[in-house]
Structure 1
């Protein structure tokens, strides 16, 4: 829910995607281009995840998945130019993917589709462009070019050797077969060049070391380009932690700029050891909000520290400093409305989760540019960042439990993000409240506040 300037509750316009773009006015097919093992599928997955996070409905149509329905585990010879049956089946798979994509657009299911395949010839790219143009669908080609043999081989071993095409095979044998597959594609591969200047395209060269942009035309295309220009696929991890338990946590209050409690202080002192246990000896940069409880929690870490206003907790407006019982009593309609649509509900004079996502976008871009970052921030902020990396649906993200005194390590992989959690042996109240639960049962009792176990409190 959001509010008018007079404070009246209104529902978001369901005809838009949350950023003011009318669904019926925008249909874009992002066409991946590149030799195998150049990170195309990784880029496609990342772009789709980013778009979902921004409330822009999108979907990947992977031609390889269509091909596997007929040829689940082909050898490299299937992709040879001298194999007409292989060529027929690959063409049929591409046609099936494009046909399903067009039907998806016709149903009004989304705004951006990503066609994930090599699309390695000018003839194939022109065919896709003509099919889309006939349906009123814009095309935007994204070519990933990379000649670094170490990066290519790393991608082969990490991704392709565990592909469904090589299920159950020896990884070394699979890698060699995939190298032979690449050689078959190289015989016919045509990079995007001056003959295709009428096309809208982005060329990412050597994992984004150079970016060439041509004929970008509208807002959503620009958003995709902005994201692509900030990507890198080098190995890295992101560490996430809430601040140590605060005095407001103990009192069941939300917002504010409280100090950490005695147990929060103990967590701050234990955090360097937690990081050492899962940090692999890497040099990290620590990001905190500008609020005291995050700065106090991070002060024993010996790494470089940066404070970000964008990492401050969700602004609870007139409810700042209140308990949920106070809110339920003083603003009963608001309390109910937030339970009904927590992602879109905006506190009077404050923010919604949707607002937080918008202000966190520069943080996400900086995270994509960076390598190893430790973020010490707040519950609502971590929910939004975690939802981005783990592709959590918007309606679920505000209800996720992100406990105090727990370090979360996220390691992005090609098709997913690996998660590890290390919990400090230091108790804290729980600030999680389930949907529909009464605020009266969300406040910690005196006994719970003094308990050394996991307790029940309240929070954003």
Structure 2
């Protein structure tokens, strides 16, 4: 009938209109195959000649961002290059006229960018650090295009240093011991690396804040922090990065961490409170004073909490000390001044929840370890800008500080061992921190509680109290190169004979697996949803 025909006509017309509208809105919410993030991931791009401290800053910054809860990884292009070229011969590999080697280095950079994309889109990453020289505008423009197509924010960190003594020190401390120079003596390695730097100098184009790069977000770190130039900071993460970089330094120093002396509440196994030292705690205070005197430390700073037991421990030192409220012990809330047995009896559910995930658990009306990390962040900044420091704090606080310096995960942090009457001596080294445990031979109770083995681990129901992005495990902060699973040959149609031109004839050049010269496969993902079933493209379409 005409009525039925009209019904079907308008039904199909409405359906077609709905499909067109859905496709239109989907195109608005997708840019080059990338989702529109409310807070887009950030790619930190290192810039600068070799031996300028880029990798040092990359690793240190990654450790800090992970510690404050921003999942971060380093993608070091040098590691990708070493994966592709198994044996390094000489600086000839970095000459700008070595066309074969230039192609390999470019493809290693593209492989690293591919992994950056995977980490930020598929693996829950929030920040990726692209650690390479990135000394040319062409390379940086490529990275900017990559960021634009994937809706990533790009932030550049350029390290500029012309002090020969600093450069030589960096080469001797770090570079001569890297895998490239495994079988070389230090003098030969030093000379070769200096020639490698000269290869990069011929094409180096620094960031230009006045003309070419005036619209980019970046910080220039000049002469290892003597001066800074900051340009167009866009968001909270970038401001945190700038703040952090302006506080770190590379001067030799020692950081001493210890807990207060044993307190009367420690003897009874009570949480929190503000009790004074026991007789053995007072002995430790005197022993600590003797220890500090023996170290003969120049301009030693001493930080304590505002709690009685921490202040009493510092009084024997005969050194002025600063009291930090941020160093106070974790607030146990309604469980304050109770023993673990009393907590288990009175609040069995809370006791079980804390065992389930100690980092995220927050005491009712109290704090979690996650809260504590945010509280002690200013202390970390002060420790980074200081030289020799002694921090007298408490068990949970000391664990947070130690987790930062030793790059420990959120899962490990609440179970780090920080015994009473023991000093931990931390000595920052090139890419980490050396720790030495020194017992002052004064007996004390053991307040450490091991992780219950029978408890199921994981955040579980604790998410109801915590919504901040969790720390990621730092076990592999430097992303492992994936040269062996790319789509196409690293250099198409390149004869084996010409491959040897990248290095002397005696050098076996091993290119493992597959590298795509453009990373250019487009992947189609169909999202099946009740109201939205639309294709979205993913890939490096323009590379």
Q: Secondary structure at the match of 2:117?
A: helix
For the residues of structure 1 that align with 2:448 and 2:112, how far apart are their CA atoms? 43
For the residues of structure 1 that align with 2:179 and 2:293, how far apart are their CA atoms? 36
2:49 to 35, 42, 59: 35
For the residues of structure 1 that align with 2:168 and 2:306, how far apart are their CA atoms? 42
1:234 to 251, 262, 280: 251
Per the alignment, residue 347 of structure 1 pairs with: 363
Per the alignment, residue 40 of structure 2 pairs with: 26
TM-score, normalising length from structure 1? 0.87
1:127 to 142, 145, 148: 142
2:284 to 261, 267, 273: 267
Measured after TM superposition, the shift of residue 23 of structure 1 is 7.2
Q: Secondary structure at the match of 1:430?
A: coil
For the residues of structure 2 that align with 1:284 and 1:434, how far apart are their CA atoms? 34
For the residues of structure 2 that align with 1:266 and 1:23, how far apart are their CA atoms? 57
1:377/1:190 Cα in 2 relative to 1: closer, same or farther (>3 Å)? same
Q: How many residue pairs align between the two structures? A: 416
For the residues of structure 1 that align with 2:196 and 2:235, how far apart are their CA atoms? 37
Equivalent pair of 2:37/2:151 in contact (CA under 8 Å): no
1:315 to 317, 331, 340: 331
For the residues of structure 1 that align with 2:334 and 2:186, how far apart are their CA atoms? 59
Q: Secondary structure at the match of 2:84?
A: coil
Unaligned runs of 5+ in 1: 1-21, 439-460
Q: Which is further off, 27-36 or 70-79?
A: 70-79
Equivalent pair of 2:259/2:393 in contact (CA under 8 Å): yes
For the residues of structure 2 that align with 1:437 and 1:117, how far apart are their CA atoms? 43
For the residues of structure 2 that align with 1:203 and 1:171, how far apart are their CA atoms? 31
For the residues of structure 2 that align with 1:351 and 1:276, how far apart are their CA atoms? 36
Mapping 1:75-90, distance limit 5 Å: 75-90=90-105
Q: Which is further off, 242-251 or 163-172?
A: 163-172
1:174 to 173, 186, 189: 189
Per the alignment, residue 162 of structure 2 pairs with: 147
Q: Secondary structure at the match of 2:321?
A: strand
What do residues 271-302 of structure 1 show as CA deviations (whole Å, max 9, x unaligned)?
A: 1333355x464331010001111111122223
2:353 to 337, 342, 345: 337
For the residues of structure 2 that align with 1:38 and 1:245, how far apart are their CA atoms? 45
For the residues of structure 1 that align with 2:386 and 2:105, how far apart are their CA atoms? 38
Q: Secondary structure at the match of 1:429?
A: coil
What do residues 354-377 of structure 1 show as CA deviations (whole Å, max 9, x unaligned)?
A: 111111111111111111111011
Unaligned runs of 5+ in 2: 1-35, 455-543
Measured after TM superposition, the shift of residue 146 of structure 1 is 1.2
Equivalent pair of 1:387/1:397 in contact (CA under 8 Å): yes
Tell me the C-alpha RMSD between the 2 structures.
1.7
Per the alignment, residue 11 of structure 1 pairs with: none
TM-score, normalising length from structure 2? 0.74
1:192 aligned to 2:192? no
1:165/1:24 Cα in 2 relative to 1: closer, same or farther (>3 Å)? farther
Per the alignment, residue 81 of structure 2 pairs with: 67
Equivalent pair of 1:23/1:108 in contact (CA under 8 Å): no
Per the alignment, residue 508 of structure 2 pairs with: none
Measured after TM superposition, the shift of residue 318 of structure 1 is 1.4
Equivalent pair of 1:238/1:410 in contact (CA under 8 Å): yes
Per the alignment, residue 132 of structure 2 pairs with: 117
Per the alignment, residue 273 of structure 2 pairs with: 256
Equivalent pair of 1:290/1:312 in contact (CA under 8 Å): yes
Equivalent pair of 1:77/1:83 in contact (CA under 8 Å): yes
Per the alignment, residue 432 of structure 2 pairs with: 416
Per the alignment, residue 302 of structure 1 pairs with: 318
Q: Which has the higher contact order (CA 8 A, sep 6+)?
A: 2
Higher Rg of the two aligned structures: 2
